[in-house]
Structure 1
Amino acid sequence: MLGDHTDAMSSAAPNLSSDARLHFVTGKLAEVSLRSQISIAIEREPFAFTVQVLPITVAALITPKWLLRHLQVPDGTTHLILPGFCEASLDDSGDAEGRTWRTLIADAAELPAESVLCGPKDCRDLDAWLGGKIVQPDLSRHSIEIIAEINHAPRMKIDDVVAIAGALRGEGADRIDVGCDPSRRCETIGDYVSALVAAGHKISIDTFDAWEAATAIEAGASLVLSVNSSNRDQAIDWGCEVVAIPDTPDDLDSLDATIAFLSRHSVPFRLDPILEPIGFGFGESLLRYAEVRRRYPEHAMMMGIGNLTELTDVDSAGLNFVLLAFCQEFSINSVLTTQVINWARSSVKECDLARRLVHYSITQGVPPKRLSDQLVMLRDPKLRPHASEVIESIASGIRDNNYRIIAQDDTLHLLSAGVHLQGTDPFAIMEELLSLPESDNVDPSHAFYLGYEMAKASIALQLGKQYDQDQALRWGHMTVEEDLHRIARTSRHRKRS
């Protein structure tokens, strides 16, 4: 909290009122930042407060047992706000009678247990935490079906195809599309489809081979991609929904003819005017989708978005989002995607996140901004720099030999007792550090830790991301959380003589 860095909030914030009196507990290094955030909060919602700076440098190292020995809560306090890192152990048993640390601390403070709260782990989030007005959008709803294609499925073993399908469903796919090999018929296509259906998947079959389509339908497939004038006659006997496409992408008259044919024979269908890659009429193809929706407002539509994501040298998340937004606006309620090429390897998950965002945005009439950061991957939604005076305060206030790293304003800062190194080159900073007498505690494992964190900090500066020591860089839905390496190691770092 109140000193260490993460976006996570701990307890629910108190309801502020004119008689609220909050007592904040923190460590030495966080005092300046904490008081700065409180001053911002009380301008919006006045409340009384006190601050107790405990005799410890880093607030994250406060334990409930240690806190009890130092806690001094003024009379009249209505809420005790502890460092966010206390949350993990606050409800553990604290004595032989089985009372929790929360209860023991509440008794010592002469407060109800529910008035002992843990604030955000990063004090720069304190104002937002105390606001208590932020309502998280409901992103559970969506109206676009995701069809995930397994390309050239017959070239794989059936068990492998079933495993891939399970992973795709876990990422958000509603239907698995079995992509056949156009160069040769798969005589065992029914076995593939049967195995997938047995695993609980809804299946579409992607083939122009009428035998493959009929066999797949018999095995449980419920959608055929695709039909036009070349194979629509066979669709009459399938008893299955199909995707109607034009004979060539720019020939909407042929699509009209196929629609009329299927309608006469009561074949259920959805329409796909074909999305063209950039360089081959991308803009015109979007206009065709709009035109088909105008001509056939009552018919279901599908868009195969892989023609753009797989054939464009750009990370797929942004492309998927924009295409899903287009689909939402034009009531194109299914998309076909694949994730073969490396830059599109998470397309299904991206589409799942995007369809929820665009549904909320369009149904609520709000821009898709500040709704979720799961598709903000290369950079971060917001940077939270320390004020320069805060960095100086931290530097001058450190009394121990543990190293703090701050990365902001194109500069790396390495701080410890009597040490404040800064620059843009981590190698130069480490070289300077090792030349100082104060560096006698940098053993190989400590040097590895510093190198790892400095590398993360350098990446953050290069990309314009937020760097918080001992926290994972944020990569949206691809973020992999890290252990708190520094906090776990501090007690093992040998002291300077």
Structure 2
Amino acid sequence: MQKTIQPKSEHHYHFVTGKLAEHLVRETAQALSKEHGFKYSIGVMPITVAALMTPRWLLRHLDPPTETTHVIVPGYLDCGSDALEEKVQICVVCGPKDCRDLAEVFGGQRLEPALTDYDIQIIAEINHAPRMSRQDVVSRAIRLKADGADVIDFGCDPSNRCLAIGDYIAGIADEGIRVSVDTSDAWEASEAARRGASLVLSVNESNREHAVDWGVEVVVIPDQPSDKKSFEKTIDFLSKQGVPMRLDPILEPIGSGFAASLLRYAETRRDYPEYEMMMGIGNLTELTEVDSAGVNLLLLGICQELAIRSVLTTQVINWARSAVRECDVARRMVYFSINNGVPPKHLLRELVMLRDAKLRPFSLAAIESIATSLKDNHYRVLADDHRLHLLSAGVHLSGEDPFAVFEQLLARSESDNVDASHAFYLGYEMAKATIALQLGKQYDQDQALDWGILTKPEDLHRIKRSSHHRDRRGTEPR
């Protein structure tokens, strides 16, 4: 069990950790030392993940400095701290399992990370942009930038040259937004670059000679995803011509060589460590029928580990309609995770949208206690124990079907206070409670269900409805 100790300036704390979490433990220990005035040291054990330590293993490696007064070990060693203490003859304190909770050992609160830093650029594509009006494209670009996009990609129509492409590009650039162009047409790329585009997607053998004249950075792709030689030839050609570039081996969808394409990204990073890289993650999110948030986080985690510092995404299919916002949250999470050697857990909850990160259940005894303590006729809705509960003074109705619960209410002789407004309110709240039960979400009456980045706060309908009844009747609803 985690202990709490009273820090003193004469204490010296030796924090034990693994290699991955070393940076974060040092950062946390330094902040705590500054706050409490104690001295400290860090014992980085020859193991990657602290959770894999055992008391017996640590006995062979633990060697705290002679001035140590307390050894702080990870929470996974709570069952062996006595043996460790006997060996080192120093007070051994079993700390938290998550090093971000170290402040709790000293009676403080968890140090929440700022999560403001990231180094992955989001390129958000507007697909078939020439089919829209110039104003619609500019408006969409502004919204995407507000969602977190760093660059807006003007997606051309492969079947028709966009003769007005310069006006579109200039319209976006005039808003102070960085813009790229997605085209294989050399004229479109040249005109876009002339009017403000700073990046061209994409270049291979078919158009690489023209890229020399554009004067902007380009994304290099192979002629075919598995054609490594064509990829290398284009890279070599552009390198000799001094054209700035970022490399994209092309991410392929599941069913078309997804795993092999991931390996090509790792190989490209190994073979060309000096070049920036890009991953077109929309190839997976748009072609995989699943909510895109988890897919985006995993792909950005891969990008972060491989130093792929830009991703191309889009929001065409409905299940990926919030992809840019998801990527903005994900890039902050993976940056913190990989740079601090901790899993992307308990950092941000914005991408937990279908279910909730944690539930606060009521026991049946607690529900009964609430029911018997109510003295007014306002209805309370609870969702727990796989059932809906409707409570007020002298009333405790429950069931799995909200229609059945409402029928029980109407069957009661004292239910004459359920007018149309009240019925609508109860139906709305019980619908939310039913959804919460189905998905494993937390239901709190008069509060919006937590949909992560998609959550929209609700007004307090019950309070407004009660005020309406008081104004109309001059009394509380019965």
Q: Is the TM-score greater than 0.5?
A: yes
1:418 matched to 2:371: no
2:111 to 105, 129, 135: 135
Q: What residue in structure 2 maps to residue 486 of structure 1?
A: 462
Alpha-carbon deviation of 1:392?
1.2
The 5 A counterparts of 1:274-353 are 274-353=250-329
Q: What residue in structure 2 maps to residue 396 of structure 1?
A: 372
Alpha-carbon deviation of 1:132?
5.0
Please say if residues 441 and 495 of structure 1, whose CA atoms lie closer than 8 Å, have aligned partners that are also in contact. no
Please say if residues 138 and 360 of structure 1, whose CA atoms lie closer than 8 Å, have aligned partners that are also in contact. no
Please say if residues 378 and 477 of structure 2, whose CA atoms lie closer than 8 Å, have aligned partners that are also in contact. no
Distance 2:477 2:245 in 1: 76
Q: What residue in structure 2 maps to residue 449 of structure 1?
A: 425
Partner amino acid, structure 2, of 1:240: V
Deviations 1:78-129 (A, max 9, x none): xxxxxxxxxxxxxxxxxxxxxxxxxxxxxxxxxxxxxxxxxxxxxxxxxx9x
Distance 1:236 1:217 in 2: 12
Alpha-carbon deviation of 1:388?
2.3
Distance 1:496 1:320 in 2: 49
TM-score (norm: length of structure 1): 0.73
1:226 to 202, 212, 215: 202
485 and 250 in structure 1: CA distance in 2 versus 1, 3 angstrom threshold: same
Partner amino acid, structure 2, of 1:263: S
Q: Percent identity?
A: 65
The 5 A counterparts of 1:30-429 are 132-429=108-405
Distance 1:394 1:173 in 2: 48
Distance 2:238 2:211 in 1: 8
Alpha-carbon deviation of 1:485?
1.3
What is the alpha-carbon root mean square deviation over aligned residues?
1.7
Distance 2:422 2:108 in 1: 40
Partner amino acid, structure 2, of 1:146: I
Partner amino acid, structure 2, of 1:432: Q
1:469 to 432, 435, 445: 445
Distance 1:362 1:161 in 2: 36
Tell me the secondary structure at the aligned position of residue 242 of structure 1: strand
Alpha-carbon deviation of 1:495?
4.8
Please say if residues 317 and 375 of structure 1, whose CA atoms lie closer than 8 Å, have aligned partners that are also in contact. yes
Distance 2:461 2:151 in 1: 41
Distance 1:300 1:409 in 2: 52
Distance 1:210 1:344 in 2: 30
Distance 2:271 2:414 in 1: 76
Please say if residues 246 and 254 of structure 1, whose CA atoms lie closer than 8 Å, have aligned partners that are also in contact. yes
Distance 1:338 1:271 in 2: 19
Distance 2:311 2:268 in 1: 16
Please say if residues 466 and 477 of structure 2, whose CA atoms lie closer than 8 Å, have aligned partners that are also in contact. no
Tell me the secondary structure at the aligned position of residue 371 of structure 2: helix
Partner amino acid, structure 2, of 1:447: A
Query: Relative contact order (C-alpha < 8 Å, sep 6+): which is higher?
Result: 1
Range moving further from structure 2, 169-178 or 380-389: 380-389
TM-score (norm: length of structure 2): 0.76
Tell me the secondary structure at the aligned position of residue 466 of structure 2: helix
Partner amino acid, structure 2, of 1:219: R
Count of matched residue pairs? 371
422 and 180 in structure 1: CA distance in 2 versus 1, 3 angstrom threshold: same
260 and 496 in structure 1: CA distance in 2 versus 1, 3 angstrom threshold: closer
Deviations 1:128-170 (A, max 9, x none): 9xx7502221111100000000011111110000000000000
For structure 1, the 5+ residue unaligned runs are 1-16, 18-127
Alpha-carbon deviation of 1:307?
0.6
Distance 1:464 1:496 in 2: 32
For structure 2, the 5+ residue unaligned runs are 1-5, 7-103
Alpha-carbon deviation of 1:489?
2.8
Please say if residues 440 and 496 of structure 1, whose CA atoms lie closer than 8 Å, have aligned partners that are also in contact. no
Distance 2:136 2:446 in 1: 38
Tell me the secondary structure at the aligned position of residue 457 of structure 1: helix
Partner amino acid, structure 1, of 2:433: A
Partner amino acid, structure 2, of 1:364: N
Distance 1:473 1:284 in 2: 40
Partner amino acid, structure 2, of 1:402: H
- Structure 1 outlier segments of 4+, above 3 Å: 493-497
Alpha-carbon deviation of 1:251?
1.0
Distance 2:259 2:375 in 1: 62
